[in-house]
Amino acid sequence: MSAADNLWLTAQQLADLRLAGLPTTKRGINLRADTESWPWKPRVGVGGGKLYSVLGLPAAARDDLLARRSEALPASNRPVGRPKGTSYFDRNPDAADAVEAYLTARPVSARNLLKLLAADGFAELPTMRTLQRFVRDLEERKKVLFTALRDPDGYKSAYAPALGRMDATVSYAHEMWEIDTTKADVMCTDGRKAVLGIIDRWSRRARFLVVESESAQSVRRMLVTTITAWGVMPAILKTDNGSGFINATMETALPYLEIALDPCLPGTPEDKPHVERLFGTFMRERASLLDGFIGHNVAQAQKLRAAAKKKTGRAEIIASISSAELQAILDAWVDGEYHQRTHSSLKMSPMEKWQRSPTPPRAAAGERELKLALSAYVGTAMIGKRGVRWKNGRYWSPCFVEWMGKPVVLRRDEDDLGELFIFDGDGNYIDTAVNAERSGLSEQQFAMAAQRQMATYMSQAKAEVRAKQKQYSYEAARDKMLRDEAEAAGKLIHLPGPAVQHVSPTIASMADKPAPVAVQPGRLDEVMRKTQPAPTARTVPQKVAEADAILAAKARGEGVEAEALRRAELYAGSSEYRAHKMTFVEFPRSNPATPSRRQGAA
């Protein structure tokens, strides 16, 4: 039999060899070959049938067969080392499977792998060197699999196929905007900020906005300022599933502008790759050059802190720019660098790509319409005879007369608590309801007023408590209680291009309504005066009596507060005090038989 004939065997021949991992019957071999699609060729001769390629057998069986054939060679022609298929893990495939299962979770040392095998009931264990060689070979052969199981993000960036292009899903400028937020890798003097980023998927035109956090209010402000600055509106807004993007306000406001909200599937940031890449490009090209750069990951941050400690003696990154300066740096980089240079994927700059859009985008609505449409969602209400009630305040509009007893949708602007925007159930704007007492007040001013009111109340309450403490001492009562108990017990906490006019039904409903009359701001003190209780005025007799009591106590030698004594003495010298004494106080008549107080004192 030639060497080529030795590479093809019948099912019966394979069964008779009893190779590692293979059935030992002809029928079993044929079933296994059909299931695993082994390579074969027709057998020529009596009986026909199939011949299976030895090279196409499973690895364990192939190695077993080659090892047996090498043993039949003369000693001088035999390979050096252990024959293939005879190692511990070839003889114990269950142990090999167990080690692979352990390593899929995380890297484990050979010493601990031996302990894990023993704990799983393997009586025969490999040597340390055999286990180390097996693990090294396994980690190399299944590097991609292990990376996918241990580090999904690392697998996506290094191994996951990326053959398509996400910009192939759009066909003109501003068809889809991607928006996202990231923590700034630069510490500012006014704290670490977040950065909102928007990028047009087709042209790569981009914009940044430095904000405190990914809130619904900051996302709406980013949309209003970007639509106003670019003069266009997107058809689709691509977001992640953060609460700043997926909320009642965004889900109800975007349909007013006929913008489709398209959130990514959970855990798939690759659905908005351009804004993710935008953030990374800025961090690499500019953020790392700025003072206050704190690193993009833990390892980088540790190196920066170590360098800072060597330089200043403190392992701390010192901020040197404000959030306003960071915003200026972001704007300059986007408009002066990112929009002007040629992008390899576009073969041109974003500005050139934007100007070549085959379809003009939708023109932006007016600033007032944007403000109304993208206002915060409050909820629904029923119009009553006193208007609508929100936060314990009444809001009224003349349009409410014809809407009495009908449900409406309430929206608002966080910068003015005095207005509520009223829409019908189909999203048509009705009017703006006003609360005169709160008009012109922002939420911050409202909160500050509440804090001042609370401070005034607490000051008055503390004064009352101090007066009571003079009469009733906690310490004295406590000490007496303890003494009594002892005696009883016997012991002592962020260039408009061509655009087509497009007006949605919601925007059309807003155009017919005049802007509400602006109420003059600066009414904070007036509101506070209306909300604070007026102090109760004391009568003249009460003031005279209080002064007399303090002076009398001083005359008797009792302890009197210096400030109280000073006020009493000043009041006793006033004309009001003297007039009251002359009018209402009855002086004793002189009696020759009775000596005067002065004489008696003499």
Interval 338-390: pLDDT, tens: 999 999 888 999 999 998 999 998 999 888 888 888 888 999 999 988 889 88
> How far is 193 from 214, CA to CA, in rounded Å?
10
- Cα distances from 506 to residues 222, 464, 479, 501, 503, in angstroms, run 21, 57, 73, 15, 8
429 forms beta bridges with: 423
Give residue 158's pLDDT.
Answer: 64
Cβ-contact 222, 208 below 8 angstroms: no
Alpha-carbon span 571 to 353, nearest angstrom: 83
Strands 191-200 and 176-188: antiparallel
What are the DSSP E strand ranges found in 331-445?
Answer: 362-363, 376-382, 388-390, 393-395, 407-413, 416-423, 429-434
Which parts of 142-209 fold into alpha helices (H)?
143-150, 152-158
188: number of Cβ within 10 Å: 20
Q: Distance (Å, rounded) from C-alpha 198 to C-alpha 253?
A: 18
Confidence at residue 436, expressed as pLDDT on a 0 to 100 scale: 72
Dist CA 432 CA 410 (whole Å): 10
* Distance in angstroms between the alpha carbons of the first and the last residue of the chain: 154
User: What pLDDT shows up at residue 149?
Assistant: 80
Of 51, 61, 136, nearest to 93 by C-alpha is 61
d(CA 405, CA 376): 24
Sequence letter at residue 335: D
Q: What is the pLDDT of residues 415-448, one digit of tens each?
A: 778 889 999 988 899 998 888 777 665 555 545 6
CA 420 – CA 408 distance, rounded (Å): 11
Instruction: Tell me what pLDDT residue 79 has.
Output: 52
The bridge status of strand 429-434 relative to strand 416-423 is antiparallel
Looking at 37-127, list the stretches that DSSP marks H as alpha helix, in order from N- to C-terminal side: 59-71, 88-91, 93-105, 110-119
Using CA atoms, how far residue 150 sits from 108, 137, 155, in Å, is 12, 18, 9
**DSSP-assigned letters across all residues of 474-512:** HHHHHHHHHHHHHHHHT---------B----HHHHHHHT
- CA 302 and chain centroid, separation: 24
User: What pairs with residue 262 in β-bridges?
Assistant: 238
Alpha carbons within 13 A on the beta-carbon side of 272: 27
pLDDT of residue 601: 41
Which of helix, strand or coil describes residue 338?
A: helix
Q: 118-123: long-range contacts at Cβ-Cβ below 8 A with a sequence spacing of 24 or more?
A: 122/92, 122/94, 122/95, 122/98
Distances (CA, A) of 489 to 4, 476, 479, 482, 485: 109, 20, 15, 10, 6
pLDDT value at position 594?
43
CB 322 within 8 A of CB 292: no
From the list 175, 176, 220, 227, the residue with the least C-alpha distance to 196 is 220
Backbone angles phi, psi at 132, to 5 degrees: -65, -40
Q: Which residues of the chain have a pLDDT value below 70?
A: 1-6, 70-86, 153, 155-167, 439-454, 457, 472-474, 490-498, 511-512, 514-536, 584-602
Which helix (DSSP H) or strand (DSSP E) does residue 195 occupy? strand 191-200
Q: How far apart are CA 340 and CA 348, in angstroms?
A: 9
- pLDDT score for 524: 47
Q: Which of 220, 100, 231, 236 is nearest to 172 (CA)?
A: 236
pTM: 0.53
Query: What is residue 332's predicted lDDT score, i.e. its pLDDT?
Result: 92
